[in-house]
Amino acid sequence: MKLFKDDKLSIQGVVSERLFASRGRMPTLRMAPMIDMIFLLLIFFLLTARFRPRENFLPMQLEFSSFAMAGQSGLIEPLTLYISPAENGCKVRLGQNLTVGITEAEPETGLTLLVDKLELSLREQMRNTGDPVEIVCAGTVEWEHLARIYNVLFGMGITDITFRMTD
């Protein structure tokens, strides 16, 4: 048995010669049991996995619209609310004739009047709360007034509320 290889001590060579000299072969890695184990783990994880349903998906059924029968596109013109600044508050204009003033001192009075006139306008135009409402707000209107009007509309059940971009 050699202890030195090219004038250097080779521990690895000495150990491997001593360990495997009696067996007569080098160790190998057996692949069959490893593949079996991988497949067993794969089957285990597939059987125990919980697959979640798709998120942000709600099943719904669309109603058949009478507009589709008439050949119209079914798009409804939004009811437009114009909000402009006023002294001590803001003014909300519905169409051409209906104007409601909302003051900072008593905003509840103006908002109640707005709800009444908006309900009347919706009935006159044969609209419902599912129809779209578009808000056109002047740039100088305070955010607090806009938020109150939006909350009142949402409280009435109007959920299709959009804002028109202005300069």
Cα–Cα distance for residue pair 41/45, rounded to 1 Å: 6
In a domain, 62, yes or no: no
Assigned domain for 71 exists: no
Q: Are 148 and 107 in contact (CB under 8 A)?
A: yes
pLDDT in tens, 47-97: 998 877 666 665 656 565 554 444 455 677 888 888 888 888 888 888 777
In a domain, 115, yes or no: yes
The whole model's pTM is what? 0.53
Say whether pLDDT at 1 is over 60.
no
Q: Is the pLDDT of residue 7 over 80?
A: no
Are residues 101 and 30 part of one domain? Answer: no
Token readout for 164 is 């028109």
Overall number of domains in the chain? 2
**Do both 44 and 80 map to the same domain?**
no
23 with 91, same domain: the answer is: no
**Does 90 share its domain with 151?**
yes
Domain that holds residue 40: 11-48
- Pick the residue with more confidence: 130 or 97? 130
Q: Which residue has the higher pLDDT, 25 or 163?
A: 163
